[in-house]
Amino acid sequence: MRTEEIWRYVDTERASLAELLAGLTAEQWATPSICPGWTVKDVAAHVISSPQAKVLPVIVGMARARGDFNRFVYEEARRAGAAYEPEEIVAQYHRFAGSRRHPLGTVPADPLLDVLIHTQDIAVPLGITVAMPPEAARAAAERIWSKPFPFKARKRLAGTRLIATDITWSAGEGDELHGPISALLQLLSGRTYVMTQLS
């Protein structure tokens, strides 16, 4: 998928997520998300932090987390979730609409997979169904499969061949696991709750 097409999907999915967030109640914002230890509010703040990331705060944050990337991301999301009111977070989505900025060391497919996966992390616990564009999910799946860090998908799913049933995509070798690309993408990222959608 071409870079500009990836960005168009990022724009569309962020706008859709912002619309969903704008309609949530205070109770829904405080609901635990699929991500352990993060509320819906924390996840929402994390997704829109991507175009706001600056080198120095990232370095300081990584030092504070003693070089542990996952701990850094976890702590930063909790910090952002606590720092902003829901309406401020929604306003950030509008302020950075169309932004092409992304954290140092990442590519456009990273913000794409971030918004696709985290939208489900927010929607599923709230009982809200959000469709994931298959073409966008495929591009995100290819990105996760190709990068060893931080998802370690090839290692976690060694001995398994993933086959999408709604779009042309497959990866891995071994016992076959079939399902929609949206579910396979979430499995690649470590969301095992989607196993009920796979066969």
Instruction: Please tell me the distance from the alpha carbon of residue 86 to that of residue 73, in angstroms, as a whole number.
Output: 20
Give the pLDDT band of residue 87 (cuts 50, 70, 90).
Answer: very high
Range of the domain at 48: 3-126
Tally of domains within the chain: 2
Q: Is the pLDDT of residue 71 over 90?
A: no
pLDDT of residue 126: 98
Q: Are residues 7 and 101 in the same domain?
A: yes
Q: Is 157 helix (H, G, I), strand (E, B) or coil?
A: coil
Instruction: Please tell me the distance from the alpha carbon of residue 41 to that of residue 156, in angstroms, as a whole number.
Output: 29
pLDDT of residue 61: 65
Q: Are residues 81 and 115 in the same domain?
A: yes
Q: Are residues 42 and 122 in the same domain?
A: yes
Q: Are residues 142 and 84 in the same domain?
A: no
Backbone angles phi, psi at 32, to 5 degrees: -60, 135
Q: Are residues 86 and 178 in the same domain?
A: no
Share of the chain above pLDDT 70, in %: 94
Adjacent-strand bridge partners of 164: 179
Q: Are residues 88 and 156 in the same domain?
A: no
CATH of the domain at 11: 1.20.120.450
Instruction: Give the orientation angle of helix 40-47 with respect to helix 109-126, to 10 degrees.
Output: 160
Q: Are residues 28 and 120 in the same domain?
A: yes
Q: Are residues 169 and 148 in the same domain?
A: yes
pTM (2 d.p.): 0.93
Q: Which of the listed residues 67, 91, 126 is the one where a domain comes to its end?
A: 126
Q: Are residues 185 and 118 in the same domain?
A: no
What is the chain's mean pLDDT, rounded?
A: 94
Note the pLDDT tens digit of each residue in 105-123. Answer: 899 999 999 999 999 999 9
Q: Which of the listed residues 126, 146, 162 is the one where a domain comes to its end?
A: 126
Q: What is the DSSP letter of 132?
A: -
Q: Are residues 121 and 138 in the same domain?
A: no
pLDDT of residue 55: 64
